[in-house]
Amino acid sequence: MDSLQKPQISKQHAQEQHAQKHETHEEELPEQPSKLKKLFIIMGGLCLILLMLSFTFVSFPISDIIRGQLESNPLKDNIIQLENFAIIFENNTLEELQQIYFTEQKNEFSVCLSGNKENQEYHINSLYQPEMYEQSFNHVTFQPCSQDTLIMLHSHPYKSCLASDTDLNTLKQTQLNNPDVLMVIMCQPDRFSIYN
């Protein structure tokens, strides 16, 4: 009877050892997610990042600032050079204009620029501020510039370089009497958007 029990014990013992090895082997290898599941997680994360970036860069005022920077022109050596024409500041008019800009940081302001137009160059040699009817951080209404004005300039808040619909309508009305007049938006001490 002892000889019959030994093989059963050894067989049972072998099965237990095999089960233990199998459990140990399962514990050593963590369960790996499928490649498809990983792909979905990565794609979902990328979609969320793109949504956040698009919200950040397309929402107001970021999109207007980016568009304004692309549409506006920098000042170089007292000249704003555009594709078809140039604006040249003479007789310290640029210094006067920048002084007004720095003084009026809290409100928009308006300036009428005069001079002469030679071919495709606007030579600015004088300026004056018209009477302001209403001024705020993002709005100005003013008395119309004189008939000999070449450029109607007004400021916008820092880096907000795009003309409003009101600005463009004002320009159209003024050009009925003076087709050469330009509208200029000053949005930084040395950056301007020009509309003709």
Calpha distance 171→181 (Å, rounded): 8
Q: What is the pLDDT of residues 5-48, one digit of tens each?
A: 455 556 665 566 655 555 555 555 555 568 888 888 889 889 88
Write the pLDDT tens digit of every residue in 49-88: 887 776 665 555 666 667 766 677 888 999 899 888 999 9
Domain boundaries, the chain: 2-58, 73-195
Q: What is the pLDDT of residue 40?
A: 87
Residue 116 CB neighbour total at 10 angstroms: 12
Q: Is 70 exceeded by the pLDDT of residue 159?
A: yes
Does the domain at 73-195 match CATH 3.40.140.10? Answer given as: yes
Give φ, ψ of 120 to 5 degrees.
Answer: -110, 30
- Residue 171 to residue 167: CA distance in whole angstroms: 6
pLDDT in tens, 115-154: 999 999 999 999 998 887 887 777 787 888 888 899 999 8
Q: Tell me the pTM.
A: 0.65
Residues ≥6 apart with Cβ < 8 Å to 56: 62
